[in-house]
Amino acid sequence: MEKFSQWRDKGTGIAPFLPHPSSTFSSSESFVLLKILNVLLAVVSCVLKLVVLIPYTLIHITFIVPVFGQTKFRQVSLKVILLVVGLWFWNIVVDGTRVSFWRLTNGLAVQKKQSPRHGDIILSNFVSPIDPLIYSALFDPIFAVPDSDGYIKVMSLFKVSLLAMKLPETSLDKPGSISFIDLQRLATKSHKVIVLFCEGTTTNGRAMLSPNIKDNLSTRELAIAGARVFPASVKYLPQDITTPLPPRSSIHYILRITSRWKAWNVRLHMGPAMSTDIEDLITACTDGICRLGRIKKVELNVKCKSDFAKAWKKNR
């Protein structure tokens, strides 16, 4: 991969945009029979999961969301979808407290002073279309993502998941942005938590991109509003569920993750609320995300990904 060495971080040598090889159809199996068995299990897994997922997702969208949209039942329904996909093993830690996947719904499993409440902001890394599903199932938040020009956009769960499967948007692609204080007021009014994917695009989970946000968090305004900011890190094992580059299509991605007949491990760690006395709160939060996720912060940013994607497509 020397041809892509210019998109490696100079300080760490990490290439955050290189895709992971498939863990389902690995070339490590030396016996032909094992390879055939692996393919058969993948096909069976894909068929069985889709037979359950397609009708259940339709029921979730057409019935559960309209009828139970503002209740915890909608979040439980999302958790069922995640389990059917294959996310079975969960390691969720909120402020040093291990939390059950089924009990964490709007912070009920931990003390209120530890978990985010309405109007608070969760700054997270961004690695796959599954990330917003996880946050939606746990916190039912408002999603916000900065575009490649650094302007923050409010997005729905569906649009954030789609964003993880395509290149970053510019302000010209989707005009209209929102400031942090207006976003915080919107969340307080709607009694929701904010999840901000501060990198603006997905990576392979090996590093944290430099945040691309023009509007800095005003600690004074946050203190007046009583809002808190939490760093959070999402990690998967194996990591081929990530989308550092856009897949061929959303259908191709769904087939890829449903064909895995083994389970994924999900690690979601959320740190304590950051002190509002810090001058550069976004930088402090990204450093916190790196500590929680045990990853390195790199100098590459969202604009580097667009250049890398062009070079990758040209050389494939």
Contact 177, 166 (CB under 8 A): no
Examine residue 7 and state whether it is found in any structural domain, yes or no. no
Instruction: For residue 95, count other CB atoms closer than 10 A to its CB.
Output: 16
Examine residue 250 and state whether it is found in any structural domain, yes or no. yes
CA torsion sign for 46, 48, 51, 56 is: negative
- The rounded distance, in Å, linking the Cα atoms of 142 and 184 is 10
* Residue 207, both tokens: 């590093």
Examine residue 3 and state whether it is found in any structural domain, yes or no. no
Tell me what pLDDT residue 107 has.
47
- The rounded distance, in Å, linking the Cα atoms of 122 and 285 is 9
Examine residue 263 and state whether it is found in any structural domain, yes or no. yes
* Residue 153, both tokens: 């956009």
Beta bridge partners of 42: none
Examine residue 10 and state whether it is found in any structural domain, yes or no. no
- The rounded distance, in Å, linking the Cα atoms of 190 and 188 is 6
Tell me what pLDDT residue 283 has.
87
User: Along the 316 residues of the chain, how does pLDDT read in single tens digits?
Assistant: 556 777 888 888 899 999 988 877 765 556 778 888 888 999 999 999 999 999 999 999 999 988 887 778 888 999 999 999 999 999 998 877 887 777 665 544 455 567 888 889 999 999 999 999 999 998 899 999 988 888 889 999 999 999 999 988 665 555 667 888 888 888 989 999 999 999 999 999 999 998 878 776 666 677 667 788 899 999 999 999 999 999 999 999 999 999 999 899 999 999 998 877 777 888 889 999 999 999 999 989 888 888 888 888 887 7
pTM of the model: 0.91
Of 270, 230, 279, which is closest to residue 119 (Cα–Cα)? 230
Pairing label, strands 142-146, 152-155: antiparallel
What is the residue type of 301?
Answer: N
Domain, as residue range, for 121: 22-315
Number of domains in the chain: 1
Contact 242, 236 (CB under 8 A): yes
Examine residue 11 and state whether it is found in any structural domain, yes or no. no
Which stretches of the chain are DSSP H helices? 32-59, 65-68, 72-85, 130-139, 157-163, 180-189, 219-225, 250-258, 281-293, 302-315
Examine residue 57 and state whether it is found in any structural domain, yes or no. yes
Examine residue 12 and state whether it is found in any structural domain, yes or no. no
Phi-psi map region of 44: left, alpha, beta (phi>0 left; psi -120 to 50 alpha): alpha
Tell me what pLDDT residue 103 has.
65
